[in-house]
Structures are given as structure tokens and as C-alpha cells.
Structure 1
Amino acid sequence: MSRIPEQPRLTPQFCFNQTQLRDFLRISRGTVDDTISQNLNALVTPGTSRPFDPSSTAERAPRPVHKRPIEPAACEQFKNRVLFPSWQSRSDVLNYCAGVATSPDPDDPDHVLREVEDMRARERMVNERLDPYSGRYFPREARTEALASLIRNERMVESIIRSRTWGLVGERCDNGGTDYDAALNEWRKTEGER
């Protein structure tokens, strides 16, 4: 069974280090969601669900291993110990960093530089007749704005990945016809009771 990566220590510095944030999300997704078929196949123990049937060799195209249903206990264990904790860990990181992105940033190293550039842009003489591009000014993006944009994108990616993963889990395990959000919320309730 896959081992989910350990959740990093949540600090504003972690969130503003976009490489570190993306690496955690990429590794977490790669460990569980990107390899979901392999993880599900690992739950199938050959020969335990059905003993060998000699007449099965007469079949021309046996049912492929990736379509065999998985024992419900193994599915539940995988969902409760690997899948949902991985999703929850990523949700915690994204929620924390979204909070950092919407908070004031007194430690922004580019704050003074942006203010100087804004002041120069206001003082600049613009004559668009002589230079049609002289009126253009593109202010630098604050690091909280860049982080908010990254979080929005990562949440969209997370939604797509979870939907795909939950669909594949539903093909092999009984997911009760629920969507991934409802299943994750139900898991959160049961984990909160423990």
C-alpha cells in the first residue's frame, strides 16, 4: 500500500515558497492519485477470492486484473488509511495557504520596490503621440496575489484529480454512489469521533 508523504510544517514561508508548495502537492498526488490503478491492483490478492478453476483456461479472454472487484474490507482500509488522509493533508495545506494569501503581508520584501515603481509611473510624462507605448505600466504583483492565484489553480487541479481518482475507485470498490466531497466529509466526521 502507498505511503502518503508527511504534511509539511505550515508556515507563511512555506506557502510563499511556491516551489516547495508545488513539490509537496506534486509528490502527494503522484504517490496516491496518479498511481491509483496500481494502488488498487495491489489490493487484489490472487487466489484468495476464488480458488483456481480449471475451466477458466478454456476462456479466450479472461477478465483483466484491473477490472476485478476488490474485497470491500481492503477498499475501506485503503480509502481510510491512504486516500482520504492524503486528500485531507493537501486540503489542509491549501486552506492554510489560502488564509496566508488573504492576510496582510508585513514581511513582503518587494513592497518598497513596488511603491517606488508606482511613484515613478505616476510622475512619468506620457505622450502617446510620440510614443504609443509610453502609457503602459504593468505593476508588479504582490506575493500574496501570486499565492492566491496559485492556490486557485491548485484547487482546480485538485478537484479534477479527486474526481478522476474517485471514479476509478468507484469502478473497483463500492463507493455507495456518493461523490468524493461527500465521502471525504463522512470520513472527516468518523475521524473526528476517534
Structure 2
Amino acid sequence: MTSPSAHPNLTPQFCFSTVALRDFLRISRSATDDSITQNLNALETPSQSGFDPSSTSVRIPRTSSRSIDPRACQAFKDNVLFPSWQARSDVLTYCAYVATSPDPDDPEVGLREAETEKNRERVVDERLDPYSGRYFPREPRTEMLANLLRQERSVENIVRSRTWGLVRERCGDSFQDAEQALNSWREARERRSS
């Protein structure tokens, strides 16, 4: 069985390193969500009576009524799927907090202030160059992080929806929505830990 995503060391530097942040999300998604079909196939019990060579002479389409043992599905969801989703949610939530907090360590503050001052001193003659009046200041890294997080949350919603659809189909889960299932798992985990 696949193991859940490990929590990275959450620091503002981790969030501002878009390579590290995206790598964590990509690796976590590929280990759990992108390979969900293989993970679910691995939960199916092999033939109890052994291999029958005549079974290969005729192709029998897989029926959708064939489901996986509910205990194996629940164990997969409790030990792999939901912990991976939770780890990614924790990272996205922490980094969203970093993106909305003041950033006194921003290395480009001086550069942005110098560019703004230089723009104020600039003489613009729009008759000679109609585009010379345009000024696009550099975005602070907190704004760039916030934009990245918006994109990654959208991707996360799509990935979870697709994964949950396959889990519901193969495991016969009663929750209609991935977030409902994850919230139920969180509540059950909190009850067990208290």
C-alpha cells in the first residue's frame, strides 16, 4: 500500500520557495491521486482458487458491480488518502497565512522602492511613445505566493474531485463530496485523539 505524504517542515522560506512548494504538491498528488486506479487495484483480493489458464481464452469485461472489500477501502482512505489530503491542506493553509502576513524579510523591498522613485522622476512624452506612460511595479513576493496558492487550490479541488469519483465508484462510499468525506475523517480522528 502506498504511504501517505509526509509533512514538510513548514516555514515561510518553504512557502516562498515556489519550487519546493510545487514539488511537494506534485509528488504528493502523484503518489496518491494520480495513481488512484493502481492503488485501488492493489486492494482487490486475488483469486482464491489459483490461476485458471482457460480464463485467458475469453476476455470478460470488468463489471462495475465488482467492488473492493470495504475494510481494505476504509484502511486505504484512513491511512493513505485522507492523510495525504490533510498534509496538502495543511501546507496550503499555512502558506496562505504566510501570504497574508506582513513580510519584513522581503529581499526586493529596496529594489521596488528604487523603481517607484525612478518612475516618479521619469519624463513621459506620450506623443513620442504612447506606451511610455505605463509603469508595472514588481509584485511583492506575498502577492506572487497568493496567486500561486489560488492556482494550487483550484488544482487541488479538481484532483480531489476526480480521485473521490473513482473511490466512490470502486469502494461504494456514501459521501457525495470529497470535502464531506475528509471532514468526517478529521472529526473521527479528533474524537479518537481526545
Q: Same fold (TM over 0.5)?
A: yes
**Judging changes above 3 Å, is the alpha-carbon distance between structure 1 residues 67 and 128 closer, same or farther for their aligned structure 2 residues?**
farther
Q: Give how far 1:131 is off.
A: 1.5
Gaps of 5+ in 2: none
Q: Give how far 1:133 is off.
A: 1.9
Write the distance in 2 (CA, Å) between the matches of 1:66 and 1:36. Answer: 16
Once the two structures are superposed, the pairs formed by residues 29-178 of structure 1 within 5 Å of their partners are 29-48=29-48, 57=55, 60-64=58-62, 68-178=66-176
**Given residue 9 of structure 1, which amino acid in structure 2 is its aligned partner?**
N
**Judging changes above 3 Å, is the alpha-carbon distance between structure 1 residues 126 and 67 closer, same or farther for their aligned structure 2 residues?**
farther
Which residue number in structure 2 is paired with residue 185 of structure 1?
183
Which of structure 1's runs of 4+ aligned residues deviate more than 6 A? none
**Given residue 5 of structure 1, which amino acid in structure 2 is its aligned partner?**
S
- Say yes or no: does 1:25 pair with 2:44: no
Gaps of 5+ in 1: none
Taking every aligned residue pair, what percent have the same amino acid on both sides?
60
C-alpha contact (below 8 Å) 2:15/2:145 kept by paired residues: yes
TM-score norm. by structure 1 comes to: 0.92
Q: Give how far 1:153 is off.
A: 0.2
Write out per-residue CA displacement over residues 73-107 of structure 1, whole angstroms, 9 at most, x where no aligned residue: 00000000000000000000000000000000000
**Judging changes above 3 Å, is the alpha-carbon distance between structure 1 residues 60 and 127 closer, same or farther for their aligned structure 2 residues?**
same
**Given residue 16 of structure 2, which amino acid in structure 1 is its aligned partner?**
F
TM-score norm. by structure 2 comes to: 0.92
C-alpha contact (below 8 Å) 2:36/2:163 kept by paired residues: yes
**Given residue 143 of structure 1, which amino acid in structure 2 is its aligned partner?**
R
